[in-house]
Amino acid sequence: MNASTASLLPPGAMPATGTLIDGNWLDSPRRFPVLDKYTGQTIAQVCEATREQVADAIRVASAAARRGAPAPHERARVLRQAAALIESRREHFVQVMAAEAGFTLADANGEVDRAMVTLNLSAEEAVRLVGEMVPFAASPGAEKRLGFTQRFPVGVVCAITPFNSPLNTVLHKVAPAYAAGNAVVLKPSAFTPLTAALLGEVLLAAGMPPAFLAITQGEGDSVGGWLLEEQDIAFYTFTGSTRVGRIIQQAAGLRRTQMELGSIASTIVCEDADLARAIPKIANAGLRKAGQVCTSVQRLYVHRSLAEEVTRRLVDFAATLPAGDPRDPATRVGPLISEQSAIRAETWIREAVDGGARLLCGGRRSGSVIEPAILADAPDGGRVWCQEAFAPMLVLRPFDDFDAALASANDTPFGLSAGVFTQDIDRALKAARTLRFGTVQINETSSARSDVMPFGGVKDSGFGKEGPAYAIREMTEERLVIFNP
């Protein structure tokens, strides 16, 4: 680092900046910059994996998978030790995420807290991965047979991960994969490679066999494409855009995948909602991490009888969320992942206003920071309503008919998560039956997530489940064993 960036990442906080293969960090001729998302300064130059290094990473991982992983109790020990090491290096992780992801201190610490939960949940699942008995007695003539299933690792799991959760989402892929006995090749986002590298150092220090973890740094168009060419990869797990998900799925062919893709998340506030409970949840769910969460509340449907009060309360709450330097403890909304992303969000807001929407608060841009924006009366065809914003904005629309609100929430290509605030059990059950989303939350927003739960979408939001217990089943093969005495 040069002197101008030393204050951004103190000495000792900089992780390795190469490609990890078999416990070794390797350099390469081509490098790409990692920017501080608030200042725009370069904080690191990271070596992009070469085509040969990608092939070598798969070769090493494939050989390790064929030899077999350590026993389940040993894999669990490694994962628990990794959780302890992350806690001991919390400040390093927080500094790195504040710099390369633009996370506020609160968001970065929350990411560390959840990462430890994910690791410990994965450790628990490693030692209780079992099959089930098959009731052959139900078939005439087969009643003497004894049958049961066992689960085995698929082999090499390729994890391709996003910038908006550079630690916990990575662990939702890496930790269950290893808990199941697979070798893992990770390609983190080129926006946030340093957090992944720091995690790699932690996993190796915790005792993960070096051949079972590779980290290939680089862009999706190069390194990501090379990973899709490697036929020894048995399973791809991806979080990102629907466009890229389609490319991965086409390349995977008959190989298995788990996809968490695009989203336009909706939350519905009914006339009997507890607003004291709902408003803080909605504001935080729409604006935390600068709105760069796949389940961030974007479409907010409010019963017309409450629209004026909800609008006032949300605007007042947004005023308590200062936007700016993520290292300032008072900041609640940090920068977007790039200035280009902030310009895009600013453009969408301006387009919406020009099309008749009312900007109730926020929306001003300074560099890569957008002040939390709340809009009303957005046109049906506007991008703030019809495309995934991935920015700190809530778009409010009143409704009179609950069925119409459900139909409107369903009227997107996506189906990841939705929330409904109501005290009416019949209405809640109707929402659960009607909303075509992977998750429907009652008296919660679309963005409430516990790391233990199954998480995944339908339609263009993808398929398969995260959550350690569920991801492990995705990443294993079920084998039926029958005894016929």
Provide mean pLDDT across the span 53-69: 98
40: Cβ contacts below 8 Å, ≥ 6 apart = 339, 367, 368
In whole angstroms, what is the distance from residue 283 CA to residue 265 CA?
14
Residue 11 has pLDDT above 90, yes or no: no
CA distances from 263 to 296, 337, 411 (A): 9, 18, 12
- Per-residue H/E/C for 257-291: EEEECCCCEEEEECCCCCHHHHHHHHHHHHHHHHH
Q: Sign of the C-alpha dihedral, residues 107, 109, 112, 113?
A: negative
Q: Please state the pTM of the whole predicted model.
A: 0.95
Alpha helices by DSSP H, listed for 288-401, are 304-318, 339-354, 383-386
Token pair listed for 243: 């466009």
CATH code of the region 266-456: 3.40.309.10
For 458-473, write each residue's pLDDT tens digit. 999 999 999 999 999 9
Name the CA radius of gyration of the chain, rounded: 23
The H or E element spanning position 251 is helix 242-252
Q: What CATH class does 19-261+462-481 carry?
A: alpha beta
**438 falls in which pLDDT band (50, 70, 90)?**
very high
In whole angstroms, what is the distance from residue 16 CA to residue 19 CA?
8
In whole angstroms, what is the distance from residue 438 CA to residue 447 CA?
12
Provide mean pLDDT across the span 268-276: 98
**4 falls in which pLDDT band (50, 70, 90)?**
very low
Lowest mean pLDDT among 5-9, 104-108, 175-179, 226-230: 5-9
> Which of 291, 115, 96 shows the shortest CA–CA distance to 206?
115
CA distances from 290 to 132, 194, 261, 322, 471 (A): 44, 20, 19, 11, 28
Q: Residue 332 in contact with residue 303, Cβ under 8 Å?
A: no
Beta bridge partners of 234: none
Q: Sign of the C-alpha dihedral, residues 353, 336, 34, 79?
A: negative
Q: Residue 177 in contact with residue 123, Cβ under 8 Å?
A: no
In whole angstroms, what is the distance from residue 370 CA to residue 290 CA?
8
Name the active-site residue from 100, 201, 260, 388. Answer: 260
Query: Of all residues in the chain, what percent carry a pLDDT higher than 70?
Result: 97
The H or E element spanning position 440 is strand 439-442
pLDDT of residue 14: 82
pLDDT of residue 3: 30
Residue 187 has pLDDT above 90, yes or no: yes
Beta bridge partners of 26: 19
125 is catalytic: no
In whole angstroms, what is the distance from residue 85 CA to residue 131 CA?
32
Residue 12 has pLDDT above 90, yes or no: no
Provide mean pLDDT across the span 428-442: 98
Q: Residue 432 in contact with residue 442, Cβ under 8 Å?
A: yes
Determine the angle formed by the axes of helices 90-100 and 193-205, rounding to 10 degrees. 160
346 is catalytic: no
Residue 9 has pLDDT above 70, yes or no: no
Q: Where are the domains of the chain?
A: 19-261+462-481, 266-456
Name the active-site residue from 47, 158, 270, 294. Answer: 294
Token pair listed for 306: 């409450």
Phi-psi bin for 87: left (phi > 0), alpha (psi -120 to 50), beta? alpha
Residue 10 has pLDDT above 90, yes or no: no
* Torsion angle (degrees, nearest 10) of CA 214, 218, 223, 225: 130
Distance, C-alpha 281 to centroid of its chain? 19
Neighbours of 429 (CB within 10 A): 11
Residue 302 has pLDDT above 50, yes or no: yes
In whole angstroms, what is the distance from residue 247 CA to residue 249 CA?
6
Beta bridge partners of 238: 160, 259
Question: Residue 288 half-sphere exposure, CB side, CA atoms within 13 Å?
Answer: 22
Backbone φ and ψ of 260, nearest 5°: -115, 110
> Which of 34, 37, 5 shows the shortest CA–CA distance to 370?
37
Residue 6 has pLDDT above 80, yes or no: no
Residue 91 has pLDDT above 50, yes or no: yes
Phi-psi bin for 165: left (phi > 0), alpha (psi -120 to 50), beta? beta
Provide mean pLDDT across the span 429-446: 98
Alpha helices by DSSP H, listed for 68-188, are 72-88, 90-100, 105-126, 168-179
Residue 2 has pLDDT above 80, yes or no: no
> Which of 227, 166, 170, 210 shows the shortest CA–CA distance to 26?
210
Token pair listed for 332: 């609640």
pLDDT of residue 152: 98
Q: Residue 265 in contact with residue 385, Cβ under 8 Å?
A: no
For 206-261, write each residue's pLDDT tens digit. 999 999 999 999 999 999 999 999 999 999 999 999 999 999 999 999 999 999 99
Q: What is the mean pLDDT of the chain?
A: 96
